[in-house]
Amino acid sequence: MGCDCCPEPIGEKPMLDQPQNSNYDHSESVVQNFLEPGVPVIRGVNWSGFLALYWKEVRRFLKVQLQTVWAPSITTLLFLIIFSVALGRGDYSVMGVPFSDFIAPGLICMGMLQNAFANSSFSLLVGKIQGTIVDYLMPPLSVGELLAGLVASSVTRAVMVGFAVWLAMALWPSVDVSINHWWAVIWFGLMGSVMLSLLGVLTSIWAEKFDHAAAVTNFIVAPAALLSGTFYSIDRLAPTFQAISHANPFFYAISGFRYGFLGEADSPVLIGSIVLLAINAGLSALCYFLLRKGWKIKS
């Protein structure tokens, strides 16, 4: 029998309490490195997060599409019917085309603009009221990705409403909605929808209750849309009112959109494109700054 004082037999290895890992390098210690707070982990664009936000917003208004897509289409079609019956008889024409053909493109664009604003002005506002704003702030999304997701979903709703209105008007008798310049329809439709989407995001950042958003709709968006030359040509207005119309950004969107259908516009198409692009750039910068600062959102 051996004792504790006796040396271990030669050739026998001592038994260790823990097994050794042959791949473990004792010369280097394994240290877990953690990034400093505030350093982004996702490099580049978080496309999966952006698409998740986009589809969340799209599914939100598609769940009630009878109210968000088809109801605005029917309302816009009623405008066409009423004004066509009231002013469309007696060979009444504007810009050398029948009155119904003149107002149809403007009504399509007006419906797109109003619904783009309605969609984007609801998202952050309902989050602030219901206390679910963290669903927009906590995910690993940058400010640009958050803003792009909200705007893209609003533009999607605007395009769906515009297509539904165009389809209804195409099936309506005595109305010609054939397109002559596709690039103008796409460009001015998108620029106008983006402009109202950004204005809606700005409204949802500022508003604290639904009454605030409704005030912007009733006192800014609706009057600007109705006084944008949708139902008339500004050439028939007095010089003072023509100047006021040129100060209305809705006018450039609707005039350029109408150019895509009729080949005629109330203002130079190039000037309208530059004005809308500049407005969208300014609104994007303002929304980005306010979202980054967390004004009336994080406080």
Task: Report DSSP letters for 146-172, one per residue.
Answer: HHHHHHHHHHHHHHHHHHHHHHHHHHS
Percent of the chain with pLDDT over 70: 84
184-217 confidence digits (pLDDT tens): 999 999 999 999 999 999 999 999 999 999 999 9
| Cα–Cα distance measured from residue 264 to residue 262, given in angstroms and rounded to the nearest whole number | 5
> Which pLDDT band, with edges at 50, 70 and 90, does 95 fall under?
confident
pLDDT band at 280 (very low <50, low <70, confident <90, very high): very high
Q: Give pLDDT, residue 30.
A: 42
Q: How confident is the model at residue 56 (pLDDT cuts 50, 70, 90)?
A: very high
Q: Distance between terminal CA atoms of the chain?
A: 78
How many angstroms separate the CA atoms of 124 and 239, rounded? 41
SS3 call for 94: strand
Asked whether the predicted pLDDT for residue 48 surpasses 70, the reply is yes
Query: What is the rounded distance in angstroms from the CA atom of residue 180 to the CA atom of residue 175?
Result: 15
pLDDT of residue 16: 46
Q: Please state, rounded to an integer, the average pLDDT across all residues of the chain.
A: 85
Query: Is residue 269 within 8 Å of residue 276, measured between CB atoms?
Result: no
**For residue 130, what are the contacts with CB-CB under 8 A and spacing of at least 6?**
none
pLDDT at 1: 47
Residue 40: predicted pLDDT: 60
The confidence score (pLDDT) of residue 13 equals 47
- Asked if residue 117 has pLDDT above 50, the reply is yes
Which has more pLDDT, 267 or 252? 252
Eight-state DSSP code of residue 217: I
Interacting residues of 103 by C-beta distance below 8 A, sequence separation 6+: 79, 80, 83, 84, 230, 231
| d(C-alpha 79, C-alpha 107), whole Å | 8
What confidence tens digit (pLDDT) does each residue in 13-23 have? 444 444 455 45
- Distance, in Å, from the CA atom of 186 to the CA atom of 164, rounded to the nearest integer, reads 15
Give the whole-angstrom CA distance, residue 161 versus residue 110: 10
Per-residue pLDDT averaged across 27-53, rounded?
Answer: 69
Q: In percent, how much of the chain has pLDDT > 90?
A: 55
Supply 89's token pair: 């008889």
Alpha-carbon span 117 to 157, nearest angstrom:
10
Residue 173 pLDDT level (bands cut at 50, 70, 90): confident
**Whether pLDDT at 88 is above 60:** no
Rounded to whole angstroms, what are the CA distances from 222 to 91, 100, 235, 257?
A: 29, 21, 22, 18
| Phi, psi values for residue 142, rounded to 5° | -75, 170
pLDDT of residue 100: 87
- Residues 122 and 167: their CA atoms lie apart, in Å, by 27
- Please state the rounded mean pLDDT for residues 132-160: 93
Instruction: Give the pLDDT score at 94.
Output: 82
d(CA 149, CA 141): 10
Mean pLDDT across 148-153 = 96
The helix (H) or strand (E) run that includes residue 93 is: strand 93-94
Task: Please determine, for residue 90, whether its predicted confidence score (pLDDT) is greater than 90.
Answer: no
